[in-house]
Amino acid sequence: MSAFALRDIAKAHGAQAVLKGVTIEAAEGEFIALVGPSGCGKSTLLRIAAGLDRPDAGTVSMSGRDVTAVPAAGRDVAMVFQSYALYPHLTAGQNIAVPLAMRELSGAQRMPLLGPLVPGGRARRADIARRVAATAASLRIDGLLDRKPGQMSGGQRQRVALARAMVRQPGAFLMDEPLSNLDANLRVHARGEIVELHRRAGVPTLYVTHDQAEALSMADRVAVMIGGTLLQIGTPQAIYDDPAHVEVARFVGNPRINLLPGRLAADGAAVLAPAAPQEAGPGSVTLGIRPEALGLRACGPEVAAAAVSRLEFLGSEVLVFVRLAGSGEEAVAKMSPAAAAGLRPGCPVALAPAPGAALAFAADGARLPAPAPARIAAGAGR
């Protein structure tokens, strides 16, 4: 039984379909990253999972219970917002205590001054204070509990928001780009921390991000959404190595995958066509080759399929941008500094994809069966 499941979720804003039947099921304790470009509907899907929006069609269930019609307050989920959404008038400690106070104190016990006098109120409040302190300690923000959100840095606010979500053991965590307001250094550090917290809490998590690196590095499974459709869901490795759709291949990986015109030869081999593509015949495909699989041969005189346009030195590796002679398209190869040593801008090179590295996609974007190793079309060069 899945811990929580979104089935065939559809949602339209006016005439525009935002979600076109999306299904995601999370197993107990699973971390799923929902990734896609902005406007792909991932935040809408998260809001539907939270109960903040109603789907036009489809069902939301948690631990086998259908909660599609249950509003947010009645669902057992906790959410971390991109803006953190801390209550500005409350201190960090009070912020973290709110979800507990709302769920575990009666109306009378919540009253500002009389609350502690109501039977049971004092004991419950002490219990809440203890759990707030424990959660704060686990996130190392115990020194900040008396500060208001306005007096904290972005990283501290993010931790308080995490603590507010974690303090009660919810049925699911929903996170809406919780790291995108942090600076780059802090973001990489916080990634590891969230994964660690998730591992300790063991609560299924749906994590929305537009950053494919974040998704690949944190999640058990990555769901790639583009244009309101879930194109693929799978392990980070499967998403990267075996994309089901050309848009998935394009979105995942940095630098971006090279998508070059090609065709399938009669023997089933994929052939890179460095010249401008002929009319899109039945054999024409798009070939995707990851930058690290696109070798370059500093060429002799025979084939000058491309010319180096610029190099980017990144320390452990070098990005070599080349312009294809025929179509004028740009491709990028990632290689070690040693391999790139002889390359200079303007230098003619030949493309030498690693055997079996090319992924073939049909004109509609669907993935085609693995082609035979790519080769450069003979005689199609200059």
Give the residue with the Cβ less far from other proteins, 42 or 290: 42
**CB 16 to other proteins: min, Å:** 17
Taking CB under 8 A as the rule, does residue 237 contact other proteins? no
Interaction between residue 295 and other proteins (CB under 8 A): no
286: left (phi over 0), alpha (psi -120 to 50) or beta: beta
Is the Cβ–Cβ distance between 224 and 248 less than 8 Å?
yes
Position 104, amino acid: E
321, containing H or E segment: strand 318-324
Q: Enter the DSSP assignment of 267.
A: T
Q: How far is the CB of 202 from other proteins (least distance, A)?
A: 20
Among 54, 89, 122, 344, binds other proteins (CB under 8 A): 89
Could you tell me which of 119, 120, 163 has the C-alpha nearest to residue 141?
A: 163
Please report which helix (H) or strand (E) contains residue 31, including its range: strand 31-35
Closer CB to other proteins, residue 51 or residue 288? 51
186 makes contact with other proteins (CB under 8 A) = no
Find the binder of other proteins among 21, 23, 81, 138 (CB under 8 A).
Answer: 81
**If we measure between CA atoms, which residue out of 360, 363, 380 comes closest to residue 372?**
360
Using alpha carbons, select from 335, 329, 286 the residue that is nearest to residue 307.
329
Minimum separation from the CB atom of position 77 to other proteins (A): 7
Q: Is 73 in the site for other proteins (CB under 8 A)?
A: yes
Length of the chain: 382
For the chain, the distance separating the N- and C-terminal CA atoms, rounded to the nearest angstrom, is: 59
In the complex, what is the shortest distance from the CB of residue 47 to other proteins, in angstroms, rounded to a whole number? 8
Please report which helix (H) or strand (E) contains residue 162, including its range.
helix 154-166
- Contact, 206 vs 172, CB < 8 A? yes
Q: How far is the CB of 137 from other proteins (least distance, A)?
A: 21
User: Of the candidates 69, 102, 108, 123, which one interacts with other proteins according to CB under 8 A?
Assistant: 102
- State the number of binding residues for other proteins (CB under 8 A): 24
CA distance 112 to 288: 62
71 binding other proteins? (CB under 8 A)? yes
Q: Restricting to residues 10-69, name those near other proteins by CB under 8 A.
A: 47, 50-52
Provide the minimum distance between the beta carbon of 110 and other proteins in the complex, in angstroms, as a whole number. Answer: 9
Q: Which stretch binds other proteins (CB under 8 A): 95-103, 114-122, 179-187, 329-337?
A: 95-103
- What are the residues binding other proteins (CB under 8 A)? 47, 50-52, 71-73, 75, 77-79, 81-83, 85-89, 98-99, 102-103, 164
